[in-house]
Structure 1
Amino acid sequence: MPPASSPGLHGDSSAGSTFGVRPQRLAEDRAAKVRFRRAITLMLMTLVVPGSAQVVAGNRRVGWNAIWTWLALIVIGSLTLLVAALSHTFALKLVLSPFWLGLFRTLLIALAIGWAALIVDAWRIGQPLTLRQNHRLAVVGLNGVLCFSVAGTLLFGAHLVTVQRDFIITMFGDGTTTAAHDGRYNVLLLGGDSGAGRWGLRPDSMTIASIDAETGKTVLFGLPRNMENFPFAKGSVMAEQFPDGFDCDGCYLNGVSTWAGDNTELFKHRKTAGTDATIMAVEGITGLKINYWAMVNLEGFKDLVDAVGGVTLNVRQPIPVGGLGDKVTGYIDPGVRKLNGHDTLWYARARDGSDDYSRMARQKCVMSAMLNQIDPKTMVTNFQSIAKATTGMVQTDLPAGDLGRFMQLALKAKSQKVATVSFVPPMINTADPDIKLIKKTVKDAIDRAEGSSETPGKAKKKKHAQVTGGSLGTRDSGYTANSSDDLGAAC
């Protein structure tokens, strides 16, 4: 009798096929995972080192060109940052030069396009059509995220650079830079009336910032808008028209601009006739040679204050909001407080229950606060809003080529005391000013700032317990912020 066969030796054919399919399926799963990991790795490699995926699995020539370009950019960028950290002058030239900003913008755009293209090419090299559907969707999603993140970040950086460049081109001209006079730059700061078509009409405030060209040490000279009977710079157009000074009936310093605006044919530059005439007056009064001027729209000034997050001021007594021919609608309460743009503007402009000289003192305090409280961090974090506010707020003839120099001087000035002198009562009778005394006072103040003479101001210091119009001091004794070797302490 034949022996019985063992179980399983002659089973059906389906059992054998099952044992053959399972290893094959496992192998396919492993291969699919490998292809998926490879596709992911190629894209991540491109994110870290652009061109590396092409070197490994694609067009090696394209890959090496991308890698060498990337390495060159890293080296150049690192060296630039190192030099900028060691030299503020170099850093400011880079961030304030329209040429370099334009070049940097172009570089960022090209880098965004090129990097995104390499990421897409890495996705192609990963052979997405060979992947399973769920893997394919994951790879496509990751590729989109990487492209959007890289290109979006670089293009946003290019947008910020464009805003900076357009801001500089719009606000600053391409005029000729001027040399310092006796080692100082003298910049006339004008507070102008606001409103469409009213630029330059009857400046509301006039201050000369005299800045040491090396140290940044600054002296502010304030001129009252109601000064009369003053001379113009010798040889100027206005001196020819008014050889005995601006002595016409009802003619004040802030009316020079209006007079020039009605007689623009006398001036070389008709568009800036009012400002040019005002400079002729300021130079005739003080003996200082003006390098540049800047006209600030006082109404738009509040937007700048809001853009930097407000300004902290010492409000010594209630400051009326309103007046100037309108109804007083409220008051700014006393105390050391952070004011928004609206309240800062009224702190600087309020005349109700006050006088022009108290207001001049408060304006000096606002200048001091802005200088000391706006730091580079604030400028960077609020850059777009600051640029937007400033573009419509300021007109100036300061050329872009000198902007870096003045920014550097401003940084130096932050760490020093700012002196201030205003030619107002009781020192000066604005109806009949002593021009010789004004010029001597200018010279003495600059000498003290430069440390070339003793500081008689210490002997003149006295306590002002009385506050008038929100400023420490009185009209008869003088407001401390109008005459001090340390404006910050006087405020």
Structure 2
Amino acid sequence: MAPVTSGSTRTRSTASHPGHPDLAAYRARELGRVRFRRALTLLVMTLLMPGSAQLVMGRKQVGRLAVRVWLACVGSALLLAAVGWLWPEVLFRLAADTTVLAVLRTGLTVLAIGWTLLLIDAWRLGDPLRLRQKQRLAMVGLNGTVVFAVAGSLLFASHLVAVQRDFITTMFGDGVASAAEHGRYNVLLIGGDAGDGRWGLRTDSMTVASIDEETGRTILFGLPRNMTNFPFPEGSELAAEFPDGYDCETCTLNSLATWAADHRDLFKGSETPGIDATIEGIEGITGLKINYYTLVNMEGFKSLVTAMGGLTLNVRDRIPIGVPVVDYIEPGVRRLNGFQTLWFARSRESADDYSRMARQKCVMSAMLQQLSPQTVLTKFEALADASTHLIETDLPASEVGEFTQLALRAKSQKVGTVSFVPPAINTSDPDIDKIRTMIDDAITKSEQPSGSGRKKGPGFSKSSSGASTGGSIGSLSSGYAANQSADLSKVC
């Protein structure tokens, strides 16, 4: 009688036969897995080190070139990081150099193209036609995603570099740098009243930011637009026209720009007679040498705040919006959009000019603290676009890096403010000697050691108290705290 053989024994016996279809299918599946893993490995190798896949697959010349380029890029990035850590001013200068930016943009574009070609070649080396259909589809999708991510990131970075270069070229000129005076840069910040034909013609707000060239410690000297009866620097065009001072029925500080536009012949060769005249007036009042100016379109200012994502401010009183009033900004710590921030800074309904000046100083303080490097990086294109349409300055491109570094230093320093307004100064008959003494005292005090500086904050204090008028602590008779303070953030 023949022995009984189990079904499992027959299966093992027949499966061990070299020509059995189950064994062929098994081997095909295993070979497919090996090919898929190889294709996936080549893709990952190219993603982590471009050229490495070509090296292991025999394309030595292409592989060596790509690896060398990649190592050079990584080495350059590490070197820049080290330089930025040890000497940040060098990195800022490079970031403001249009030639360096042009080279970087080209390099990023070439890198994007080269890396994309290597990823496609790695996909080809993975022999996709010999993969199973699902594996082939998976590799096509994965390779496409990686190519899109790598090339897209590099091309977007190239685009941002182009935006930075265009911003530097459009915003800043190639003029001669102005040296610091007694260790300080004095930058005139002008808010131009918006409207047709008024760009740079009606100076609504004037503040001199006096910045220590070493520490970045800043004092804001506020000048009221209604000041009159003030002198001009000796030897200037306006000193010759007004030897006894700027004193007539319509002779206010903010009228200088309009007056100069009507007397362009006195400012031959100047493209900005209104700015030149305003600078002469402010230098005559303060005795400070103005290094540079920045003119901000007050109406367009809301675009900059909008690009920032809004500004958080401590609103102490209801602030009217519009003329006539159409709405209010309600009291409290609020995140204001660009439109609301503009009216917070310029509203005069139920307030006076000097309360408004105090609010404007608080806006400056909040912007300094809240416009962080992270905000600039994430919203750079919108900020650059807004700035080129609303800001005019004579700061040369060669100094952008220096002033960027000073602005970052200023964030950790107390910002002082001194305004030449009542009750300290009679704006219709200003005591020029007293004004200059106030300036000297403020600068001397700011240059004294002040411990570790101020803690980082939003640019205002939630806990500061005191009666307020028109949104600012203080009153017309006693003065507004934000107009006279050694630490602006504590009184905003």
Do they superpose with TM above 0.5?
yes
Q: How does 1:82-481 map to 2 (within 5 A)?
A: 82-322=82-322, 326-451=323-448, 465-481=466-482
Residues 116-160 of structure 1, C-alpha deviation per residue, up to 9 Å, x if partnerless?
111111222233344454444333333322221211111111112
1:380 counterpart letter in structure 2? L
More divergent stretch after superposition (181-190 vs 97-106):
97-106
Residues 362-414 of structure 1, C-alpha deviation per residue, up to 9 Å, x if partnerless?
11111111112222222222222222222212111111211111111112212
Q: Report deviation, 1:320.
A: 1.1
Alpha carbons 1:305, 1:340 under 8 Å: kept = yes
2:387 counterpart letter in structure 1? T
Q: Report deviation, 1:33.
A: 4.0
Q: Relative to structure 1, is the Cα distance of residues 130 and 309 closer, same or farther in structure 2, using a 3 angstrom cutoff?
A: closer
| Structure 2 Cα separation of the partners of residues 159 and 238 of structure 1 | 46
Q: Say if 2:19 is the partner of 1:20.
A: yes
More divergent stretch after superposition (415-424 vs 195-204):
195-204
More divergent stretch after superposition (23-32 vs 38-47):
23-32
Q: Which residue of 2 aligns with 1:5?
A: none
Q: Relative to structure 1, is the Cα distance of residues 297 and 59 closer, same or farther in structure 2, using a 3 angstrom cutoff?
A: same
2:37 counterpart letter in structure 1? R
1:238 counterpart letter in structure 2? L
| Structure 2 Cα separation of the partners of residues 29 and 477 of structure 1 | 89
2:147 counterpart letter in structure 1? C
Residues 53-102 of structure 1, C-alpha deviation per residue, up to 9 Å, x if partnerless?
21122421111111111112112211211221233212322333322222
Alpha carbons 1:85, 1:91 under 8 Å: kept = no
| Structure 1 Cα separation of the partners of residues 216 and 33 of structure 2 | 66
| Structure 1 Cα separation of the partners of residues 100 and 195 of structure 2 | 35
Q: Which residue of 2 aligns with 1:45?
A: 45
Alpha carbons 1:233, 1:284 under 8 Å: kept = yes
Q: Say if 2:72 is the partner of 1:75.
A: no
| Structure 1 Cα separation of the partners of residues 142 and 333 of structure 2 | 53
What stretches of structure 1 of length at least 5 have no aligned partner? 1-14, 454-462
Q: Relative to structure 1, is the Cα distance of residues 67 and 240 closer, same or farther in structure 2, using a 3 angstrom cutoff?
A: same
Alpha carbons 1:321, 1:329 under 8 Å: kept = yes
- Highest Rg: 1 or 2? 1
More divergent stretch after superposition (285-294 vs 398-407):
398-407
Q: Relative to structure 1, is the Cα distance of residues 142 and 338 closer, same or farther in structure 2, using a 3 angstrom cutoff?
A: closer
2:243 counterpart letter in structure 1? P
1:228 counterpart letter in structure 2? T
1:49 counterpart letter in structure 2? M
Residues 422-454 of structure 1, C-alpha deviation per residue, up to 9 Å, x if partnerless?
11111222112121221222122211211299x
Q: Percent identity?
A: 58
- Aligned-partner SS, 1:429: coil
- Aligned-partner SS, 1:271: coil
Residues 177-207 of structure 1, C-alpha deviation per residue, up to 9 Å, x if partnerless?
1110011000000000224543201100100
1:391 counterpart letter in structure 2? T
Alpha carbons 1:349, 1:359 under 8 Å: kept = yes
Q: Which residue of 2 aligns with 1:10?
A: none
What stretches of structure 2 of length at least 5 have no aligned partner? 1-13, 451-463
- Aligned-partner SS, 2:363: helix
Query: Where do 4+ consecutive residues of structure 1 move more than 6 Å?
Result: none
Alpha carbons 1:426, 1:477 under 8 Å: kept = yes
Alpha carbons 1:58, 1:125 under 8 Å: kept = no
More divergent stretch after superposition (440-449 vs 30-39):
30-39
Give the CA RMSD over aligned residues.
2.3
Q: Which residue of 1 aligns with 2:489?
A: 488
| Structure 2 Cα separation of the partners of residues 416 and 180 of structure 1 | 19
Residues 20-46 of structure 1, C-alpha deviation per residue, up to 9 Å, x if partnerless?
362555545544443343333222221
| Structure 2 Cα separation of the partners of residues 345 and 440 of structure 1 | 33
2:229 counterpart letter in structure 1? N
| Structure 1 Cα separation of the partners of residues 25 and 358 of structure 2 | 87
